Chains A and B, each alone.
Chain A
Amino acid sequence: MKKWLMLLLSVFMVFSLAACSGSTSSDTPADSGDSGDGEEKQEEVKLRIAWWGSEPRHDYTLKVIEMYEKENPGVKIQAEYASWDDYWKKLAPQASASQLPDIIQMDLSYFSQYAENGQLTDLAPFIGNQLDVTNFTDNYVDGGKIGDKLYGFNLGVNVVGFHYDEALLKQVGVDSLSEDWTWDEYKEVAAKAKDAGLYVDTGMKADVFFNYYLRTQGKSLYNEDGTALGYEDDQMFIDFFGMTSQLVKDEAVPTPDYMAQIKGIEDDPVVKQDAIGIWQWSNQFVGLQQVANRELKIQNMPGPGTSDGLYLKPSMFWSVANNSEHKEEAAKFISFFVNNEEANKLILGDRGIPGSSVVKEALKPVLSPQQVQAFDAVAWAEQNSSAFDGPDPIGAGEIIETLDLLAEQMAYGQLSVEDAAKQFRQQAESILSQNK
């Protein structure tokens, strides 16, 4: 009895020890004993891919993946998609465990963080081999560069604007918005909307629009090398957020708690005709229009200084994780995604206006009027914008969250704009100073 027990336990011990030291390496092809016929077995490649987005994006991306799998029978792609917030919370633990998906959708605000910490692969070696860039301008491809390394492939460019319902605008007594409208005119529209019992918009994402405002004044949110803020005079902060929080106090813009209840684009006040418009990126226009299911228009940002403020932002990238075991295969998929005409007829500029001239040409006949609107907005901005500042510095995620929180506190009237300006400078500088 005792002996049996001892034997059983020793066996168990061996197993548990083996399990502890077990690191399965999949790059050694295991001989499974049936290698008598000398036939090469087609190894199935498994790729994981992750992105953030809304329902329509998930749907067409899955279709594109299906398309790719049909063309490449040896490849199986496993999709992991989530909303923006959840996405980054999932990605970070995966990064620390070297378990990142092979292909990752990357945003500018996290790009430096992941790239400079060695999480992403330099795609330059794949260019001309697996990655076909014949139809792209160098400028476009370089959007994904940090230093001299290409850490992500640009999926398209976007520009911010005001996407609005013209019928509602007329209803509150404003006939149209002109190309050279100003912040003052915007405030007038807001006042009229309020009087008509509507919201003018749903607020502005603090970091994006504050940065636009700073650029119109020749400044920016971060300085060149990402070690400090890019503006010295807190009056700019006070002017901009004074305006936005005043609009909330005037009830021309919904309060943050009203916005917190919104679960997705489907409940958005613009869709429900409770608000005239929404401030967002050009690639979000089509999705919004589909859900709203009525005619919407795109208006460029208010001035003065619109063309200094505007820039073409690389909307997002496909990056390849450094821990990927199939980097070439991943690069092949990216190449398919940005070059294949049929695939892009599904994508239709949702991830930004595509860079490939061939794809743009092929899309022309199939674009819906709404997509043409988004393409036109970017084409207009190409003529009326200035250089892009480059990816956000490390720590941007924390700074953006700090700014969002302060903006919320100002909107609730819990914090004066002057105090918020001081607090923001102090906290942002302490985060950025770590990049020195």
Chain B
Amino acid sequence: MSTRALKQNVTGYLFISPFIIGFLAFTFIPILASLYFSFTKYNMFGDPQWIGLQNYEKMFNGDPRYWQSLKVTLLYVIAGVPLRLGFALMVAMILNTASRAVGLYRSLFYLPSLIGGSVAVAIMWRNIFGDEGIINLLLVFLGIPDVRWFGDPTAALWMLIFLSVWQFGSSMLIFLAGLKSIPVTYYEAASVDGANYFQKFSKITLPMLTPVILFNTIMQTIAAFMTFVPAFIISKGTGGPLDGTLLYSLYLFIQGFEFFNMGYASAMAWIMLIIVGILTALIFFSSKFWVHYESEGGK
């Protein structure tokens, strides 16, 4: 390597150094530390004691709340993600029209997601779904019996799912970009052949969108798995009623920061990583059968 090339490389490394330092200090080293902690009994105050696989054993054999949290989280992901994506696609289709106010509407619809993960929204959600809240008033008005959102574990979880559906903005924007990239000529050709709206949607829009749907599904699944704030706020940090909103991250937090079982919490975090990894792999594997790339000349 000539000195000049070396110089250039140094400049490059200098430029990325803030990221490298940050990554090592705040991501890479903590990840390794948590792997080590997951094999120890560690309460954050004293020194970790090596206990081998005991934490993992406890998870699978001696902790009913762990299974409850897994169940709740899987339901949250499996019910929440498709609903959210469907809703996002629907709104994207509506906003993919050429009208003058469309820019304003796009911004408005994106707003809930901007403030979405915040504590304030979760508190607002708590009040909307309260016994005297607007949702119950509406139900009564429509002649449907009101729901005790905070008394019934299933209802409380659905309340969380609705909150996640309402924060559809980021996937909506990606869908919108995907819709914009479909050539208009396809639709024109289909119109000439006499295709109706539904046929255009199912034969052109959906297949052309599949790569975007895949991307969104994976991103949203990972994000849903890591949901913490709304469950924490809405259940006041307990995961109640009856552990109905005990999402995985919330239980992890309770174990780590409330019971000081940091070793156990680290083990939980690693299992979560494995579960998310497997889910992502499954989605990727299934994509062979339903994702359609233009560049590959069809399926």
B41 neighbours in A (Cβ, 8 Å): 434
Interface stretch (choices A122-130, A184-192, A253-261, A372-380) = A253-261
Q: How large is the interface on A (under 10, 10 to 19, 20 to 34, 35 or more residues)?
A: 35 or more
Taking the complex as formed, is A6 at the interface, i.e. its CB lies under 8 A from any CB of chain B? yes
Do the beta carbons of B150 and A95 come within 8 Å of each other? no
Complex formed: what's the CA distance from A414 to B41 in Å? Answer: 33
Write the B100-131 contact mask toward A (1 if CB under 8 angstroms, else 0).
00000000000000000000000000000011
Do the beta carbons of B45 and A119 come within 8 Å of each other? yes
A interface SS class = helix
Taking the complex as formed, is B15 at the interface, i.e. its CB lies under 8 A from any CB of chain A? yes
Do the beta carbons of B259 and A395 come within 8 Å of each other? yes
Of the listed residues B46, B131, B241, the one surrounded by the most CB atoms of chain A closer than 10 A to its CB is B241
Do the beta carbons of B46 and A118 come within 8 Å of each other? yes
Count the A-B residue pairs with Cβ separation under 8 angstroms: how many?
Answer: 87
A256 neighbours in B (Cβ, 8 Å): 151, 241-242
A405 neighbours in B (Cβ, 8 Å): 65, 242-243
B58 neighbours in A (Cβ, 8 Å): 430
| A85-B237, A397-B259, A408-B241 given; A257·B43 CB < 8 A | no
B242 neighbours in A (Cβ, 8 Å): 256, 405, 408-409, 412, 414
B44, B150, B237, B262: the one within 8 Å of A89 (CB): B237
Do the beta carbons of A89 and B148 come within 8 Å of each other? no
Complex formed: what's the CA distance from A113 to B119 in Å? Answer: 29
Do the beta carbons of B44 and A95 come within 8 Å of each other? yes
Complex formed: what's the CA distance from A119 to B41 in Å? Answer: 18
User: Nearest chain A CB to B57's CB is how many angstroms away?
Assistant: 11
Taking the complex as formed, is B50 at the interface, i.e. its CB lies under 8 A from any CB of chain A? no
Taking the complex as formed, is A387 at the interface, i.e. its CB lies under 8 A from any CB of chain B? no
Write the A65-108 contact mask toward B (1 if CB under 8 angstroms, else 0).
00000000000000000000110110011011000000000000
Q: Which residue of A lies closest to B239 (CB)?
A: A405
Taking the complex as formed, is A5 at the interface, i.e. its CB lies under 8 A from any CB of chain B? yes
Do the beta carbons of B45 and A398 come within 8 Å of each other? no
Write the B28-50 contact mask toward A (1 if CB under 8 angstroms, else 0).
00000000000001011110000
Within 8 A of A (CB), among B217-266: 236-238, 240-243, 254, 257-262
Complex formed: what's the CA distance from A257 to B150 in Å? Answer: 6
A30 neighbours in B (Cβ, 8 Å): none
Complex formed: what's the CA distance from A6 to B11 in Å? Answer: 7
Complex formed: what's the CA distance from A96 to B243 in Å? Answer: 26
A92, A260, A398, A423: the one within 8 Å of B64 (CB): A423
Do the beta carbons of B45 and A260 come within 8 Å of each other? no
Taking the complex as formed, is A16 at the interface, i.e. its CB lies under 8 A from any CB of chain B? yes
**Would you give 17 A-B contacts (Cβ < 8 Å), ordered by A?**
A9-B11, A10-B14, A13-B14, A17-B21, A20-B21, A86-B237, A89-B258, A92-B257, A92-B260, A117-B45, A117-B46, A258-B151, A260-B151, A261-B131, A395-B259, A398-B261, A408-B242
Q: Could you list 20 further interchain pairs (A-B, Cβ under 8 angstroms) beyond the known A89-B257, A260-B151?
A: A9-B11, A9-B15, A16-B18, A20-B21, A86-B237, A92-B257, A95-B44, A96-B44, A117-B44, A117-B46, A117-B260, A255-B151, A256-B241, A257-B150, A260-B150, A395-B259, A405-B242, A414-B242, A430-B58, A434-B41
Using a CB–CB cutoff of 8 Å, the interface residues on chain B facing chain A are 11, 14-15, 17-18, 21, 25, 41, 43-46, 58, 62, 64-65, 130-131, 148, 150-152, 236-238, 240-243, 254, 257-262
